[in-house]
Amino acid sequence: MSQDFKEPSLESHTFEHDTEEQKPRGVARIEAVKQTLDKRYILVLILSLYLCSWTYALDSSTTYSYQPYATSQFDRHSMLSTLSIANSIIGAVCKPFIAKISDMTSRAVAYMFILVLYIIGFVIAACSPTISAYVIGSVFIAIGQSGIDLLNSILVADMTPLRWRATVNGLLSTPYLCTTWVAGYIVQNITTTNWRWGYGMFAIITPAALIPAIGMIFWMDHKINYGTFKFSIKLPQITVGKSMNNPR
């Protein structure tokens, strides 16, 4: 018994794509860098992040101690608990957006964006004439601190193998072993003169500590842009299925 056979049309073809979807620009670029970059450069980048983690640990161990002095000077000491809770919420909420910026642009652009917000926040807090200005500066500081912490973790995850990832992340937390003991002396010496310098000094220290890491990441992107590193992008494979049996 013969059956009419209809040649399959383009709409009836079965497309089998790779399980991985097209990756965002930032993810694709950092993966290309990881595949082609020498391990020595990766080690230099990790050391740069370690320097950055020292600054971040000193920041997070000291700046919260200046809030009582600031709110008392503005006669708004009752706002201390509200300010602390608001900063914690803002720091947590902004992380998904920072991660998205990092994926859609690049790691270097995300670092620069966060660093600018970080500097703006500390400058505003250090020069704040009113409690409103101080609160605005604290918001920028919370975003900057959360962003630096998140981007450090993302970059470590990008550049290290899975079996060493926890070790490197733990290494970036070792500065707290030192800053825990010295933070009190730093706060005591600064508050005897002017609490504003407790914020202002990080507008100078943090950019100096982040410049090596940011410069290294921008250098990687530059090499990718001009083709110094050779890398390939896997395109989705398309398989078209046809029936080979043509009954007569």
Between CA 215 and CA 219 the distance in angstroms is 6
Q: Cβ distance 206 to 119 under 8 Å?
A: yes
Going by C-alpha positions, the residue among 190, 237, 211 that lies closest to residue 48 is 211
> H/E/C letters for each residue in the chain?
CCCCCCCCCHHHCCCCCCCCCCCCHHHHHHHHHHHHCCHHHHHHHHHHHHHHHHHHHHHHHHHHHHHHHHHHHCCCHHHHHHHHHHHHHHHHHHHHHHHHHHHHCCHHHHHHHHHHHHHHHHHHHHHCCCHHHHHHHHHHHHHHHHHHHHHHHHHHHHHCCHHHHHHHHHHHCCCHHHHHHHHHHHHHHHHCCCCHHHHHCHHHHHHHHHHHHHHHHHHHHHHHHCCCCCCCCCCCCCCCCCCCCCCC
Domain 10-225, CATH: 1.20.1250.20
Between CA 104 and CA 94 the distance in angstroms is 16
For 52-62, how does the pLDDT look when each residue is reduced to its tens digit (9 = 90+)?
899 999 998 99
Question: C-alpha distances in angstroms, 26 versus 9, 29, 111, 114, 237?
Answer: 38, 5, 12, 16, 22
The answer to whether the pTM exceeds 0.85 is: no
Task: Among 6-15, 33-42, 77-86, 180-189, name the one with the lowest average pLDDT.
Answer: 6-15
What confidence score (pLDDT) does residue 118 get? 94
Whether residue 96 has pLDDT greater than 80: yes
Q: Cβ distance 118 to 60 under 8 Å?
A: no
For 117-149, how does the pLDDT look when each residue is reduced to its tens digit (9 = 90+)?
999 999 999 999 999 999 999 999 999 999 999
For 70-94, how does the pLDDT look when each residue is reduced to its tens digit (9 = 90+)?
988 888 888 888 888 988 999 999 9
Question: C-alpha distances in angstroms, 146 versus 3, 106, 242?
Answer: 67, 18, 54
Whether residue 35 has pLDDT greater than 50: yes
